[in-house]
Amino acid sequence: MPRWTGYSTRIAPTRSCIILDEMRPAGAPHARLIDFVADRPGHDMRYAIDATRIRRELGWQPSVTLKEGLRRTVRWYLENED
């Protein structure tokens, strides 16, 4: 199993914006609407999850892929904008 300590990944906003661009082409590219701020440098590291223990001890597996989960989330927000 690869070790991820010291690495970072960039899932959002890139992936979520690509999905949003596909589902709602008007206004694309949506990534241009994102402003990164310097007041919380590295803050997204706090959202990192290591599911190794729950996989190993409970045999848990995600029911959908990350890509599908993001797609479902974007779809939900588009359908529930009110």
Using alpha carbons, list the distances in angstroms from residue 78 to 27, 39, 42, 51, 72.
13, 29, 28, 29, 10
The two tokens of residue 66 are: 């990350």
* pTM confidence score: 0.62
DSSP 41: T
What is the C-alpha separation between 75 and 40, in angstroms, rounded?
29
Mean pLDDT within 51-76: 91
> Mean pLDDT, to the nearest integer, of 45-53?
73
Cα-based distances in Å from 35 to 13, 16, 17, 31, 73: 11, 15, 13, 9, 21
Q: What is the predicted pLDDT for the residue at 1?
A: 43
Residue 26: the pLDDT is 92
What's the average model confidence in pLDDT over 52-80?
92
pLDDT on residue 21: 92
